[in-house]
Amino acid sequence: MSIALPPPSPILAMAKRAADLKAAGHKIIDLTLGEPDFNAPLHVIEAAHSALDTRKLGYSPASGLPELRKAISSAFERDRGLHYRDDEIAVGCGAKQIIFNAFLASIESGDEVIIPTPYWASYPDMVGACGGKPVIVDCSLMDSFRLKPEQLKAAITARTRWLIINAPGNPSGVTYSAEHLQALGDVLLKYPHVMIMSDDIYAHIHFPDDGQSFNTLIKVVPQLRDRILTVDGVSKAYAMTGWRVGWGAGPKSLISRMIAIQSQNCTQTSTLSQLAAAQALLGPQHCLKERNDIYRERRDIALSILKSSALLAVNTPDGAFYLFPKLIGARNDGDGVANELLHHYNVAVVPGSAFGVPDAFRLSFATDTQALIEGCKRIVEYIGKSHR
């Protein structure tokens, strides 16, 4: 297996450009990062203070603190009706590291990974860094950016190692109904060599208009359990991005290899962060609904502004906290739009090319409501002037 140096994250690159302009005195409305503008829950912060006062914060096992792994297992049972044993859980420095460790532990040179568009920007580069080949499947706005069973079947080859399903998705906010997941599962059952990465990091940020509960493939098609790695963490739902705690739950053989990799690079994520994450999972959960209500309100406000432009097509996301407008008309260059919005309208968004859709751009509504409103108004103004 060869490891290639990946390019820098295009999302972080755009965020840095915005930060540099802010530092130079420009009043930038930054809609780039998927970072909640809330604090970590108070009981989490109090638990961290208590741990600083009362515990020796030494090394933890590479698999994560036993109390955190137990909390993760309990949260899976409580929230999704899923049961994972202790040896089926690995803790890492955020969900991002868990994904990378899984690829590093399983991909041989030339193995293929199916990635539906629009995708989180890091997936293809991680696959490439681990010696694999990203197989990009274009999912259209007409299909609400959902992977269709026939597309999945057409993409699978003898070299397919993984399929990635990210729902609610970054950047589209797409979710899948139980019926749709069953249809995908019916295809996957015919190809036992294909593993499935279910990236559920936005599972708790979910507000479908039809009232459907959150669905994930392992719950809908339990026959696939031994081939699914479920990825999650505290960064998004609990506003704990900088605490860097994520986890993967899946087959013991894969988890053991991921833990071995973890033991040889950074050993563990911060012990203090792990204790705080356990409290986030075990403590009061009412903040999740309260914050989802705020996200939904922001989503609806931003959508109403963006949809006032006949030159933008925007799907209504069922979860996460992003909008992903596609450009309509002669000029459909998402990179150009992002650059001009930043330098002429002081609004920072991420070009759609980062997500495999070059005629779009992403903006986050996990930000101050007034800044979001002003940013969306400037976007509509710019599009109206420059894209006719």
Band of pLDDT at residue 13, cut at 50, 70 and 90: confident
Residues 66 and 190 in one domain: yes
Structural domain includes residue 248:
yes
Looking at the fold, whether 33 and 63 belong to one and the same domain comes out as no
pLDDT at residue number 208: 76
What whole-number distance in Å separates Cα of residue 343 and Cα of residue 80? 45
Shared domain check, 204 and 108: yes
Here the CATH number for the domain that contains residue 380 is 3.90.1150.10
Residue type, 286: H
Strand order in the sheet with 350-351: 322-323, 361-364, 350-351
Q: Give the pLDDT band (50/70/90) at residue 213.
A: confident
Residues 6+ apart with CB under 8 A from 4: 128, 129, 131
> Does 369 reside within a domain?
yes
For residue range 123-159, list pLDDT tens digits in order: 999 999 999 999 999 999 999 999 999 999 999 999 9
**Dihedral (CA of 287, 292, 295, 297) sign:** negative
Give how far Cα 228 sits from Cα of 11, 197, 200, 352, Å.
27, 6, 12, 28
Instruction: Of 298, 299, 368, 354, give the one whose Cα is nearest residue 121.
Output: 354
- Number of domains within the chain: 2
225 and 370: one domain?
no
SS3 label, residue 164: strand
pLDDT at residue 209 tops 80: no
pLDDT classification of 110: cutoffs 50, 70, 90: very high
Per-residue confidence (pLDDT) for residue 210, from 0 to 100: 66
Whether residue 96 sits in one domain with residue 165:
yes
Over residues 41-64, the mean pLDDT reads: 92
Same domain, 247 and 152: yes
Least confident among 61-70, 104-113, 208-217, 363-372: 208-217
Closest CA to 265 of 124, 59, 97: 97
Query: What letter would DSSP give residue 159?
Result: T
- pLDDT, residue 362, reads 97
Provide the 10 A C-beta neighbour count for residue 329. Answer: 13
Q: What per-residue confidence (pLDDT) applies to 11?
A: 87
Sequence-separated (6 or more) residues with CB below 8 Å from residue 27: 346
pLDDT at 56: 80
State the greatest distance between any 2 C-alpha atoms of the chain, in Å, as a whole number. Answer: 63
| 325 in Cβ contact with 299 (< 8 Å) | no
The predicted pLDDT at position 3 comes to 62
d(CA 187, CA 386): 44
Task: Supply the pLDDT for residue 387.
Answer: 62
Give percent of the chain above pLDDT 70.
97
**370 and 236 belong to one structural domain:** no
Q: Rounded mean pLDDT of the chain? A: 94
Q: Give the separation between CA 242 and CA 296, rounded to whole angstroms.
A: 24
Q: Specify the higher pLDDT residue, 64 or 332.
A: 64
- Whether 293 is in a domain gets the answer yes
- pLDDT computed for residue 5 by the predictor: 72
Q: Give the pLDDT score at 153.
A: 98
Contacts of 348 (CB under 8 A, 6+ apart): 14, 15, 17, 18, 21, 28, 29, 30, 31, 32, 338, 341, 342
Q: Which residues contact 55 (CB under 8 A, 6 or more apart)?
A: 275
Cα Rg of the chain, angstroms? 20
Among 250, 282, 314, residue at a domain's last position: 282
153 and 116 in a common domain: yes
Whether 45 is covered by a domain: the verdict is no
What per-residue confidence (pLDDT) applies to 9?
A: 85
Tell me the whole-structure pTM to 2 decimals. 0.95
| Residues 36 and 63 occupy one common structural domain | no
Q: Say how many C-beta atoms besides its own lie within 10 A of residue 324's C-beta.
A: 27
82 and 177 within one domain: yes
* Boundary of a domain, candidates 282, 316, 346: 282
Q: Does 5 map to a domain?
A: no
pLDDT, tens digit (0-9, with 9 covering 90-100), for 61-86: 999 999 999 999 999 999 999 999 99
Which of 93 and 213 is assigned the larger pLDDT?
93
C-alpha closest to that of 114 among 49, 194, 174, 38: 194
> Helices 369-386 and 286-306 sit at what angle, rounded to 10 degrees?
20
Claim to verify: residue 308 and residue 193 sit in the same structural domain:
no
More confident residue, 209 or 270: 270
Same domain, 238 and 183: yes
193 compared with 331, residue with greater pLDDT: 193
- Residue 1 falls inside a structural domain: no
What pLDDT shows up at residue 330?
56
For residue 224, the domain's CATH number is 3.40.640.10
Residue 220 lies in a domain: yes
Q: What value does the mean pLDDT take over residues 209-234?
A: 92
| Last residue within a domain, chosen from 240, 257, 282 | 282
Enclosing domain of residue 368: 10-40+286-386
Per-residue pLDDT, 386: 76
In a domain, 153, yes or no: yes
Residues 6+ apart with CB under 8 A from 210: none
